[in-house]
Amino acid sequence: MKLPLIAALTLGLLASAVPAAPQPAADPAANWDLTPLYASTASWQAAKDHLNAEIPKMKAFQGRLGESAATLRQAMDLMFSLKKDFYRLAVYSFLNRDENTRDTPSLERAQEIGLMESTFAQATSFVNPEVIALGEAKVKALIAADPGLAQYRFPLLEIVRAAPHTLGAEAEGVLASTGLVTDAPASFYQILANADMPWPSIKLSDGTSVLLDQAGYGKWRATPNRADRQAVFKAFWSTFHEYERTFGVALFAQVKADWFNASVRKYPSSLAAALDGNDIPESVYRTLITQTNANLPTLHRYFRLRGRMLGISDLQYWDIYPPIVKSDKAFPLAEGKALAIAAVQPLGKDYAAQFASCVNGRYTSVYPRPGKVSGAYMDGAAYDVHPYVLMNYTDGYDSVSTIAHEWGHGMHSLLANHAQPFPLADYSLFIAEIASTTNEVLLLDHMLKVAQSDDERLYYLGSSLERMRATFFRQAMFAEFELAIHEVVEKGGALSGAKMSQMYGEILRRHHGQKEGVMTIDPMVTAEWAYIPHFYRDFYVYQYATSIAAGSTFAGRILKGEPGAVENYLGVLKAGGSDHPYDIVKRAGVDLATPVPYQAIAERMNSIMDQIEAILARKH
d(CA 513, CA 520): 8
Q: Do 97 and 219 sit in the same domain of this protein?
A: no
Return the CATH number at 102.
1.20.140.70
From 242, 275, 308, the end of a domain falls on: 242
Final residue of a structural domain among 124, 142, 166: 166
93 and 224 housed in the same domain: no
434 found inside a domain: yes
What does DSSP assign to residue 379? E
Identify the CATH number of the domain in which residue 522 sits. 1.10.1370.20
Cα–Cα distance, 286 to 480 (Å, whole number): 9
- Which tens digit of pLDDT belongs to each residue from 539-592? 999 999 999 999 999 999 999 999 999 999 999 999 999 999 999 999 999 999
Residue pair 38/44 in contact by the 8 Å Cβ criterion: yes
Pairing of strands 388-390, 209-211: unpaired
In a domain, 457, yes or no: yes
Residue 371 in domain: no
User: What pLDDT is stored for residue 215 in this prediction?
Assistant: 81
429 and 322 within one domain = yes
Asked if residue 119 is part of any domain, the answer here is: yes
Report the candidate in 460, 469, 442 with the shortest Cα–Cα distance to residue 611.
Answer: 460
Expressed in angstroms, the distance from the first to the final Cα of the chain is 60
Residues 23 and 150 in one domain: yes
Question: Is there a domain that residue 294 lies in?
Answer: yes
Residue 189: Cβ within 10 Å count: 22
The yes-or-no verdict on residue 12 having pLDDT over 60 is: no
pLDDT surpasses 80 at 38: yes
pLDDT by residue (tens digit) across 318-347? 999 999 988 889 999 999 999 999 999 999
Kindly state whether residues 159 and 257 are assigned to the same domain: no
Query: Which candidate, 361, 344, 373, places its Cα nearest to that of 436?
Result: 344
- Please check whether residues 283 and 428 belong to one and the same domain: yes
Closest CA to 575 of 415, 378, 351: 415
Beta pairing, strands 201-203 & 209-211: antiparallel
Residue range 94-107: mean pLDDT, rounded? 89
Same domain, residue pair 453 and 577 = yes
In this structure, what CATH number is given to the domain that contains residue 217? Answer: 1.10.287.830
CB burial of residue 449 (10 Å; 0-12, 13-18, 19+): exposed
Residues 536 and 619 reside in one and the same domain: yes
Measured CA to CA, the distance from residue 73 to residue 80 in angstroms comes to 11
Question: How far from 403 is each of 10, 110, 376, 394, 574, CA to CA, in Å?
Answer: 17, 26, 9, 12, 21
Give the C-alpha separation, 410 to 381, whole Å. Answer: 10
The pLDDT of residue 191 is above 90:
no
The per-residue pLDDT for 24 is: 52
> 3-state SS string over 442-485?
HHHHHHHHHCCCHHHHHHHHHHHHHHHHHHHHHHHHHHHHHHHH
Distance CA 304, CA 474 (A): 17
H or E segment to which residue 530 belongs = none
Confidence class for position 15, pLDDT limits 50, 70, 90: very low
The Cα 268–Cα 142 span in angstroms is 33
Q: Which of 565, 116, 510, 122 is nearest to 293 (CA)?
A: 510
Asked if residue 208 and residue 158 are part of one domain, the reply reads: no
Asked if residue 137 and residue 234 are part of one domain, the reply reads: no
Please compute the mean of the pLDDT values over residues 403-409 and round it to a whole number: 97
Q: How many whole angstroms separate alpha carbon 220 and alpha carbon 326?
A: 16
> 148 lies in a domain?
yes
Same domain, 223 and 294: no
Res. 199: pLDDT tops 70:
yes
Position 22 in a domain: yes
Residue pair 546/432 in contact (Cβ under 8 Å)? The answer is no
Q: How confident is the model at residue 103 (pLDDT cuts 50, 70, 90)?
A: confident
Percent above pLDDT 90 for the chain: 79
> What does the pLDDT read at residue 267?
96
Single out the residue in 166, 186, 217 at which a domain terminates: 166
- Predicted TM-score (pTM) of the model is 0.89
User: At residue 19, does pLDDT exceed 70?
Assistant: no
Do 136 and 152 fall within a single domain?
A: yes
Domain containing 94: what range?
5-166
Total count of domains within the chain = 3
Main-chain dihedrals φ then ψ at residue 291, nearest 5 degrees: -70, -35
**Is the pLDDT reported for residue 184 higher than 90?**
no
Residue 548 falls within a domain, yes or no?
A: yes
pLDDT mean across residues, the chain: 91
pLDDT for the residue 205: 95
Q: Which backbone phi and psi does 10 adopt, to 5 degrees?
A: -65, -25
